[in-house]
Amino acid sequence: MRYLPLAFDLRNRPCLIVGGGTIATRKARLLSKAEARLLVVAPDITDELRQLVMGSGGEYIVGTYRKELLDRAEIVVAATADENVNAQVSKDARARRLPVNVVDSPALCTFTFPSIVERGPLSVGISSGGSAPVLTRMLRAQIETLLSPGLGLIAELAGRMRDKVKAALPEAQRKDFWHWVFNGPIVGEIERGHKNEAERLLLDELQRWEHRPAPSGEVYLVGGGPGDPDLLTFRALRLMQQADVVLYDRLVSTDVLELVRRDAERIYVGKMKQFHSVPQDDINQLLVDLAKEGKKVLRLKGGDPFMFGRGGEEIDKLAEAGIPFQVVPGITAAIGCSAYSGIPLTHRDHAQSVRFITGHLKQGELVLPWQELIVKSQTLVFYMGLTGLPTISEKLIAHGMDADTPAALVEKGTTRDQRVIVGTLGTLPALAETHKVEAPALTIIGGVVKLRESLGWYQ
């Protein structure tokens, strides 16, 4: 994201527009809606632009651009047909650190105008940073059909009542109260044109909320899946948007984390090789403490929380403390990575069973029932086994598995950075070194790996 969407208060602020044609007029319409004071310089301007200038209490200067005009501006728009003039305006504005927009020239802009959907004080801006204006207009048209015309009146009511609600309710309750307002009968009254009735309902409900007991906290133990945000469940996404604070680990992808409520507090509790940023016992206690403060706590884990994710330990502590919790399963790494790499974990001709194995134990030692793993027509999937891959290969071969057994490493599975390294049980450790494979990486061993050549689909 190159351009950060921001909302500027332009009321009675001087905005310089260089140019007087139809494009300059379009920009002036938007600035006028924001109640900006227009300063326009051009040899001639359209009748509509002249009216917009007069209506804003601004000024029209007949002539050509000169940089001294920037002394009177807080925002600058260059909308002439002369590319050299536009480039000069951009250069001069940048030198003075003034926000500048040059129409149809993203490289010369420090801000762009989004396509806007308006509902009273509520506005939705869609921007491509100037790269695809037609696409943004198409999206705007789609959003227009989705948003009720009454949303503006609802937003105005919320604005009038905001201070009263803030004074009446503690922070932990306010978000839930507004959630009730925007999803309850008040919306229906507004859409029927009953503004007074809607306000009365809000005030009556506010009185009831004032006498409610303080809200209790809750913990959401949510599986974030293997990385691709499209693999999240609807329930996971809904709870991610409700949480007040999120505790997340290293295996949660950036794309998934971006879907958490923007204003939620974020606490990183991930673990890296030979380094624990927060000990597990401290994580467990932190979940309890935050919930006791009345907060909705999201414990977001990569994959599935009950698949080598220590989710059981965390909810055990919550249950002991009497903290309510929910568990939302996620697509575990073995399922996601195998699907995206084109390696089915079971297949009638190759594997009738599959075994999920952790690549390290609680004490940090790789002690496994190796003989039990040497089973014909079985797929082995090792989680967190990259560091121990040489030992895994050596032990399996020593206990009777053929060194030529097909094997694969799936690095950063289901994400745009996914890599699949295919070899054999005997060659995979060396391939991992050669290709500099990094965690998170999943190891798949068995005849099903041969199918990737024909079934691989995700690149």
Check if 249 is active-site.
yes
Distance CA 5, CA 111 (A): 9
In whole angstroms, give the CA distance from residue 125 to residue 116.
5
3-state secondary structure of 204: helix
* 271 catalytically annotated: yes
Beta bridge partners of 443: 382, 409
With a CB cutoff of 8 Å and minimum separation 6, the contacts of 119 are: 147, 148, 149, 150, 151, 152, 155
Residue 413 known to bind ligand: yes
Of 219, 224, 227, 213, whose CA–CA distance to 243 is shortest?
219
Identify the active-site residue in 175, 195, 271, 395. Answer: 271
> Is 44 within any annotated ligand binding site?
yes
445 is in an annotated binding site: no
| Contact call for residues 114 and 129 (beta carbons, < 8 A) | no
DSSP string, 70-111: GGG-SEEEE--S-HHHHHHHHHHHHHTT--EEETT-GGG-S-
233 labelled binding-site residue: no
Q: What is the DSSP letter of 225?
A: B
104 is in an annotated binding site: no
Q: Are 378 and 384 in contact (CB under 8 A)?
A: no
> What kind and span of H or E run contains 24?
helix 22-33
The verdict on whether residue 333 carries a ligand-binding annotation is yes
Contacts of 264 (CB under 8 A, 6+ apart): 243, 244, 245, 246, 298
Three-state DSSP class for residue 168 = helix
**Collapsed DSSP state (helix, strand, coil) of residue 357:** strand
- Whether 24 contacts 49, CB under 8 Å: yes
Q: Is 302 labelled as part of a ligand binding site?
A: yes
- List phi, psi (to 5°) of 171: -55, -40
Q: Is 289 annotated as a binding residue?
A: no
Residue 33 carries which side chain, given as an amino acid letter?
K
23 is in an annotated binding site: yes
Q: What are phi and psi of 88, to 5 degrees?
A: -70, -40
Q: Which two tokens stand for residue 436?
A: 């500099």
Residue of 92, 228, 244, 249 marked catalytic? 249
CB 416 within 8 A of CB 229: no
Q: Tell me the binding residues for S-adenosyl-L-methionine.
A: 226, 302-304, 332-333, 384, 413
Q: Which residues are annotated as a binding site for NAD(+)?
A: 22-23, 43-44
| Residues with catalytic function | 249, 271
Instruction: List, as residue ranges, the binding site.
Output: 22-23, 43-44, 226, 302-304, 332-333, 384, 413
